[in-house]
Each structure stands twice: as C-alpha cells, then as structure tokens.
Amino acid sequence: MSTAAAARVSGATHAPAARIAGLDALRGIAIVAMAIYHFCFDLRYFGVTRADFEHDPFWLAARSAILSSFLLIAGISMVLARRGVRSDARWVRHAAVIAGAALLVSAASYVMFPRSYIWFGVLHAIAVSLVVARPLADRPLAAVAAGAVVIAAGIVFSHPAFDNRALGWIGFMTHKPVTEDYVPLFPWTGVLLLGIAAGHWLVRERFAPLAPLGRVPAALRFLGRHSLVVYLAHQPLLIGLLWLALRTA
C-alpha cells in the first residue's frame, strides 16, 4: 500500500464520528423534560406548589425516566465515540469535563442548599460510570449482562455499611440521603451499560430507529448538541426568573 493510500485509510479510521441528528434530538428531548421537572421542583421551593417529589409515584417515575434517558444516551455516545477518534487523550478530556461540571454542581448546590447539597448526582454518576464501563465499550453482550446485574443488585441489596458519603456513592444505602440529587453507581451505571448495548444495536441498524427524531424542531437538536452547557445553566436561570417574577408579582 502506498504512503498516500495508508494516510487516507488512517484518516478514515481516526476521523471524528458524524453527529447523529436523531440522537441529538433524543438528548434535546431529555434536556427539555429535565428542565420541566426542575421548574416544577423550583415552584415547590418557592412555595407556589406542594408537589411531593420524594413520595408521589408520578414524580418518582418521571425522575427515573429522565435519569435513565441521560444514562442510556451516555452509553450510546460511548459507542459512537469509539467509532470515531480512538484517542485516549480525547476520552480523558471528555470524562474530565463532565467530572469538572459535576464538581461545579456540587459547589453551586452547596451555596444554595448547604444541608442537602449534591455530593453525588447525575453528572458525578456519568463521569465515574464512563470510567467503569469503558472496558466493555466494545463488548455489547458483556455490557448487557453486567448492566442487568448492576441494576438488579442496586434495587434488591442494601446494607447499613453504605449509609455514609464515603461509600454511599456506590449505592446500597438503606435510605435516601439528605441531598438534592442522588444517583449512585448501583443501579444507575447498569443503565449506562445497557446504553452501550443499545449503541451497538443502533450502529448495526444504521441508526434507522432514530431517523424519525431527526425531523424534530432544530431547537431540540441544538439543545442536544449543547446539553452539558444547558444542564449547567438552566437551573440558575429558572431560579432567577422565578425569583424575579414572584418578587414583582
């Protein structure tokens, strides 16, 4: 093979994976659902409503569905990243950005909720799960099996030894800790592992199941492309606007 031909093959192998419009749309829908959930939560915070987010089956199911969507998409995105630039440095930067955003969320929530700040929420779970799940990124069957075990263990097993922050991030706590968001590795890493399997299935299907989502409004796809920025910005914006609206009402 000539040097030029080898360069072309190498370029094709290491070229960044093209964006999937349907996946961006799916991520955008998840972002909107999350913003609606948080808006309703903020209404309770300001005393406008009395919704029971901790016990009402509707709100518990809504939270689980939104969390599951983000973790599934994170798993799917891992597979797409492996099809693109196979660079350890690029992957480390991606995980580090999410980890940094998680620390920012912890700091901001501590300012607002010092007694119930977020010490292990969804971004923390995604950052750690990306590291834990990486060895299975190219093994969809193993990812499904491991995901099922992690989810089952996280649901059925608990022990008082995990009722503290030192171990509680793993899962297995006997009660929900006092925090505004709690997303332990067991069972939630299992959902990301299922996302890896879903990603391989979508690749085999040439993303056809997501094709209809590619026709949703461009605004949703835009939100999906910039989901981390939207995640970090939406709550301060919502809280600020609600505070201003209630102050001037």
- pLDDT recorded at residue 15: 45
- pLDDT recorded at residue 1: 40
15-44 pLDDT tens trace? 445 689 999 999 999 999 999 999 999 999
- pLDDT recorded at residue 249: 74
How far is Cα 197 from Cα 137, in angstroms, rounded to an integer? Answer: 8
DSSP3 helix / strand / coil % (the chain, rounded to 5): 75, 0, 25
Residues with Cβ within 8 Å of residue 154, at least 6 apart in sequence: 171, 172, 184, 185, 186, 187, 188, 190
Peptide bond into 16 cis (omega under 30): no
- pLDDT recorded at residue 84: 57
- pLDDT recorded at residue 9: 33
In the chain, which stretches have pLDDT less than 70? Answer: 1-18, 84-87
- pTM of this structure: 0.90
How far is Cα 178 from Cα 117, in angstroms, rounded to an integer? Answer: 8
